[in-house]
Structure 1
């Protein structure tokens, strides 16, 4: 218990992250803005530190690759990941730094998670979710998402629209590209491997098993690129993360290993 407490720093205060004027989001009441103000944010930080993150670590021991891309983010981004399990959200939050996690909102299917107000309020308290329609109202959805980004929040989106029925990546819907193009927000591709085996559709509770979360290089929409073209490029980036070979362990003296493990300089893809 002492080791777990030391590792997770339960007594660590919630980090003061990007400009606190973004704490109150000018979003419609249906977007559950109450979940993004104090003291709710501090309560959620405690819940995640005491319950969600230790439980995720204990069940699947997720391996995180590419966290350096998150560590140096200085502006809001869209995290775009494949979706095969209800465990995906907790795995993504587990993979983020404290600073990024504290400023991250998760898009959740309005027709599933918010059909019953009590359930919607619970998941919003635990995960900082907002209802995302899968059936229409694209313009209103774009406005709400844009307001969150402009207020300094990261967004977690699952561009496939729903959980994969077989664990394989499905075609991405163009919404992520449209939102990125309209707001000029970078997109960070992510791939989660193993979540389908841990908690596929129909599975009520997660099973132990190996999981890997791989985070890619932030991407920005190029000047002459359409939203559908950019969406296709994001999908390709996620598929590439899924196919990349595992990085070999760093060898050498502790000094050489330390130098090799230093985060790379953060550059957005369009700057190449």
Structure 2
């Protein structure tokens, strides 16, 4: 792991805990080594940094829509600093898929968002087949993750009483799913979203009783 990455991820973790009361649950579900996909719900543009900070002991990579790299030079630099790589949303980006599979086969961690886009209302969307397809082809475990309590605006986040959390679920192993690659991909994607929904419900119940 690059030392600069680990320091930066740790700093983000600390700042979020200090300013917003950020919490991480079940971090122990993240394997210490080996290729792994962390599959999370998607609410804001800074979700990848938040999930990366939650698992700061492991260097993580993620792809971001190519439009984000041209917002401004600083934001583009920040994305690259935290191991983001471009993906086109115009059709299937085979180059981005190949790069993701290469990272996983090297034993690295990749953060992905099965919904394929942000949920502006916070409602979980149906999964796109991409994450399941990559998991089926690489046979690496998938760790479902649920982001709770984040806001589009950091100012609004500061004013909110709800503390942001990232909750990790139990691993999903692609080799448990049989059939052709498309069938396996669909089944894995559905299982991922079911796990994220379960984490969402568990979080809601715990918050109501907390």
Give structure 1 regions of 4+ aligned residues with deviation exceeding 6 angstroms. Answer: none
TM-score by length of 2: 0.83
State the shift of 1:67 in Å. Answer: 1.2
Q: Which of 169, 182, 196 is the matching residue for 1:216?
A: 169
Q: Write out aligned runs for 1:14-33 (5 A).
A: none
- The separation in 2 between residues aligned to 1:160 and 1:56, in whole angstroms, is 25
Q: Write out aligned runs for 1:1-272 (5 A).
A: 41-50=2-11, 52-70=12-30, 72-98=31-57, 100=58, 102=59, 104-111=60-67, 113-115=68-70, 118=73, 119-125=75-81, 127-195=82-150, 199-200=151-152, 203=153, 205=155, 207-208=157-158, 209=160, 210-221=163-174, 222-224=177-179, 225-244=183-202, 245-246=205-206
State the shift of 1:93 in Å. Answer: 1.9
TM-score by length of 1: 0.66
The SS at the match of 2:192 is helix
Please say which of residues 205-214 and 180-189 is displaced more in the overlay.
Answer: 205-214
- The separation in 2 between residues aligned to 1:206 and 1:149, in whole angstroms, is 36
Unaligned runs of 5+ in 2: none
Q: 1:164 to 1:63 in 2, by over 3 A?
A: same
C-alpha contact (below 8 Å) 1:161/1:173 kept by paired residues: yes
- The separation in 1 between residues aligned to 2:128 and 2:186, in whole angstroms, is 8
Count how many residue pairs are aligned between Structure 1 and Structure 2.
197
Bigger-Rg structure (1/2): 1
